[in-house]
Amino acid sequence: MKRRRPIFAMPYGVKLSEYDFEPTPEERKITRNLKRRKRKHNLFVKRIEGMKAKWDREELEYLRRKCAAQAESIAADKVWLEQVKQREAEVEKIRSYYETEQDKERKAHLDRLTKLINKETNARDRKVLEEKGLVRGRRK
């Protein structure tokens, strides 16, 4: 296909040769300033990104140190908890021993009282039976 030339729509009486398409010194200065500002902005952005990366590294290092300190604290707490658990086990063992000993003493006391009550009951029953004359012979 054949290339066509662009159609310029210019107002009547305006000649294309009257227009200068080269930038003026002011436009060149503005362009230079814009490029300079863009370059400074890019440098500033890079500097900020570098600072952010540095802060991120420092924060990560701080968090790792903090995590390590907490891990040490947790390890110490585990040891302490194990010691407390052992002490509680010993106390429980001692308490259960004394409870069983007290239970034995109570049972022995209860057995003595039961025997005493049975003896008194039997003696009273025997006395009642003797009074009624139902008992033959006497106990020696």
> At residue 122, does pLDDT exceed 50?
yes
Q: How confident is the model at residue 37 (pLDDT cuts 50, 70, 90)?
A: very high
Residue 23, amino acid: P
CA-CA distance, 69 to 63, in Å (whole number)? 10
Count other C-beta atoms under 10 Å from residue 126's C-beta. Answer: 14
The pTM score is 0.46
> At residue 23, does pLDDT exceed 90?
no
> At residue 109, does pLDDT exceed 90?
yes
Tokens (6 digits) for 84: 């407390």
Q: How confident is the model at residue 138 (pLDDT cuts 50, 70, 90)?
A: low
CA-CA distance, 14 to 8, in Å (whole number)? 11
Cβ contacts of 31 within 8 Å, gap of 6 or more: 23
Asked if 100 contacts 94 with a C-beta cutoff of 8 angstroms, the reply is no
pLDDT at 140: 44
**Sequence ranges of the domains in the chain:** 23-132
